[in-house]
């Protein structure tokens, strides 16, 4: 989800630079092993004046990659970098990261032809809501060549068919990774639209939830029946605001299996009526703010059993106090559900941080 938003912002920046006659180099994580801060597909844009956007790590690698990217801009030659973040060798380069992992990063110039070609195609796809993939050759004579899956050929002939088959499987799994196709190594960058969160109730505690969820790359909509609560001052863009009552139904919201919803109107009747509508929807997540007794009262009024798919009380047990901390507990729970994870302390986890 962050991957989608970060890539969209970087493509927009590349387009802007192209129109202004500027140049940049794009660095992209293409493979990780062991512990790594970012996953494959993470991007870091370095402009010719040294300005940067995006990120590849928690700040460990960016300075070194920035210098390589500026050299790539001068030479016009893409480079594939390899960092052993737990190796003593990195002490030589002043890194000394001690993270016990490995990261491969591909750095390529992105100029006006890139912006007008692959960039323009990708911008159109970001305007939609369907997943897609960008395939980029990272070695050999075709290094830096890219194509949107299904739009045009990257390798041609039989190898193109093999690449398309492998990339299609990765899109289905939502996984970005390197693919070996004959003599070519191609990074398939799979981009999945961020999930949508609908917050029913625009009270003061909805504000930190909307803000934090937006920062976490959820596509946020706030629904309330009080126009005075639905203002850009209370909920700045890109949060969308919808005026509506439970009696209006939810048909116009287009809810589906990738949608998340949290009900927190602070009015028992409104909570009940919104839940009546939402329990009928195939949501990925449905949360209700308030104590367990409130949930039981609402379900009793609805004539419903203890709905196993209802997250109520909503949020993780973090000992949260106040709207801001409650928002953290709710967003953390939604991320766990989205990624199919059972929340636990990372120190208790075996294997890599991102291992399922």
Task: Identify the pLDDT of residue 91.
Answer: 38
Whether the pLDDT of residue 248 is over 50: the answer is: yes
Q: Per residue in 305-337, pLDDT tens?
A: 767 789 999 999 999 999 999 999 999 999 999
- For the residues of 22-73, what is the DSSP string, one character each? --EEEEEEEEEEES-SS-TT-EEEEETTS-EEE-SSSSSSHHHHHHHHHHHH
Task: Identify the pLDDT of residue 98.
Answer: 44
Q: Per residue in 61-91, pLDDT tens?
A: 889 999 999 999 999 999 999 987 655 544 3
- Under the banding of pLDDT at 50, 70 and 90, the label for residue 2 is confident
Query: Whole-angstrom Cα distance, residue 16 to residue 23?
Result: 10
Task: Identify the pLDDT of residue 323.
Answer: 94
Task: Write down all domains in the chain, each with its CATH number in brackets.
Answer: 2-191 (no CATH), 196-338 (3.40.50.720)
Q: Per residue in 92-136, pLDDT tens?
A: 333 444 456 688 999 999 989 999 999 999 999 998 888 999 999
More reliable by pLDDT, 287 or 151: 287
Report the b/e string of 251-262 with b at 16+ CB within 10 A: eebebeebbbbb
Q: Which of 324, 54, 55 is nearest to 211 (CA)?
A: 324
Q: Are strands 177-181 and 184-191 parallel, antiparallel or unpaired?
A: antiparallel
Task: Identify the pLDDT of residue 354.
Answer: 63
Q: Work out the percent of the chain whose per-residue pLDDT is above 90.
A: 67
Q: Per residue in 154-207, pLDDT tens?
A: 888 889 999 999 999 999 998 999 999 989 999 999 999 999 999 999 999 999
Number of H helices, E strands in the chain: 10, 15
Task: Identify the pLDDT of residue 96.
Answer: 41
Task: Identify the pLDDT of residue 35.
Answer: 63
- Comparing 82-86, 219-223, 345-349, the range with the smallest average pLDDT is 82-86
Query: Whole-angstrom Cα distance, residue 203 to residue 198?
Result: 14
Q: Per residue in 23-47, pLDDT tens?
A: 999 999 999 887 666 889 999 999 9
More reliable by pLDDT, 348 or 14: 14
Please, is 21 exposed, middle or buried when counting C-beta atoms within 10 Å of its C-beta (0-12, 13-18, 19+)? exposed
């Amino acid at each position: 989800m962050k991957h989608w938003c970060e890539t969209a912002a970087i493509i927009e920046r590349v387009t802007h630079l192209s129109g202004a006659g500027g140049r940049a180099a794009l660095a992209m994580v293409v493979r990780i092993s062991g512990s790594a801060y970012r996953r494959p597909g993470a991007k870091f844009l370095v402009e010719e004046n040294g300005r940067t956007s995006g990120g590849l790590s928690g700040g460990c690698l960016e300075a070194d990659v920035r210098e390589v990217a500026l050299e790539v801009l001068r030479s016009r030659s893409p480079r594939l970098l390899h960092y052993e973040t737990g190796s003593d060798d990195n002490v030589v380069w002043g890194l000394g990261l001690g993270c016990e992992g490995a990261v491969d990063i591909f750095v390529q110039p992105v100029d006006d032809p890139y912006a007008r070609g692959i960039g323009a195609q990708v911008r159109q796809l970001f305007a939609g809501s369907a997943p897609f993939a960008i395939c980029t050759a990272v070695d050999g004579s075709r290094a830096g060549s890219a194509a949107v899956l299904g739009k045009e050929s990257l390798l041609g002939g039989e190898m193109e068919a093999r690449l398309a088959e492998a990339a299609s499987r990765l899109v289905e799994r939502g996984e970005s990774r390197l693919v070996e196709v004959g003599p070519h190594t191609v990074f398939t960058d799979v981009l999945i639209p961020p999930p949508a969160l609908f917050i029913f109730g625009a009270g003061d505690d909805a504000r930190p939830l909307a803000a934090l969820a937006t920062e976490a790359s959820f596509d946020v909509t706030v629904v309330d029946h009080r126009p005075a609560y639905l203002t850009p001052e209370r909920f700045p863009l890109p949060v969308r605001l919808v005026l509506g009552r439970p009696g209006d139904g939810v048909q116009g919201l287009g809810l589906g299996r990738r949608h998340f919803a949290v009900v927190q109107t602070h009015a028992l009747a409104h909570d009940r009526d919104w839940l009546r509508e939402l329990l009928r929807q195939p949501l990925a997540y449905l949360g209700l703010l308030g104590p367990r007794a409130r949930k039981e009262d609402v379900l009793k009024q609805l004539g419903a059993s203890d709905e196993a798919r209802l997250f109520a009380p909503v949020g993780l047990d973090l000992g949260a106090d106040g709207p801001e901390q409650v928002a953290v507990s709710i967003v953390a729970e939604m991320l766990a559900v989205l990624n199919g994870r059972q929340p636990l302390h990372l120190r208790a986890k075996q294997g890599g941080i991102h291992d399922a």
